[in-house]
Amino acid sequence: MNISDVARETGLPPKTIRYYEDIGLIRPLRDTNGYRVFRQSDSHKLAFLGRARALGFSIEDCRKLMALYEDQDRASSDVKKLAQEHLAQIEEKIAQLQSMQATLQHLVRECAGDARPDCPILRDLAEG
């Protein structure tokens, strides 16, 4: 498979696939013309990476997850730990965003949003 084939299979852009090779997440073969040659196992790994990234795991977490995936003797507790830590980060992020959301919703409701210059949003930003 060439890069555009595996891009279609996995939904990842060719650029991203090259980047993943650059940082050592995958190691496709090379044809005599220099083109990358992807085996089914490469495509599989890329799909794995795509799903892990879609769940918000960092590249370094993805690297660890791949290593665990390929380690037949892994303990599921190691995977669970990674997932739980990531979950905690997601929950913190959600909480932060919800706090911003609440403040903004309040300010937006207060603001007349008309042609006059008086604006509670700016007042709040200016005075805290």
Partner DNA sequence: GATAGGGATTCCAGTCACTGTAAGGTCAAG
Partner DNA sequence: CTTGACCTTACAGTGACTGGAATCCCTATC
Query: Would you mind telling me the total number of residues written for the chain in this entry?
Result: 128
Helix axes 14-22, 3-10, angle to 10 degrees: 100
Question: x/- string (CB under 8 A) for a second copy, residues 31-50?
Answer: -------------x--xx--
Asked if 121 touches a second copy (CB under 8 A), the answer is: yes
Nearest C-alpha neighbor of 107 from the set 118, 94, 121: 121
Closest approach, Cβ 76 to a second copy, in A, equals 4
Q: Which of 9, 64, 80, 73 is nearest to 39 (CA)?
A: 9
Q: Applying CB under 8 A, does 74 fall inside the site for a second copy? A: yes
Cα(85)–Cα(11) distance, integer angstroms: 27
User: Which residue lies nearer to DNA by CB, 15 or 81?
Assistant: 15
**The residue type at 60:** E
Contact flags string 58-97 toward DNA, x per CB under 7 A: xxx-------------------------------------
CA quadruple 47, 52, 56, 58: dihedral sign:
negative
Interacting residues with a second copy (CB under 8 A): 44, 47-48, 51-52, 54-56, 65, 68-69, 71-77, 79-81, 83-84, 86-87, 90-91, 93-94, 97-98, 100-101, 103-105, 107-108, 111-119, 121-122, 124-126, 128
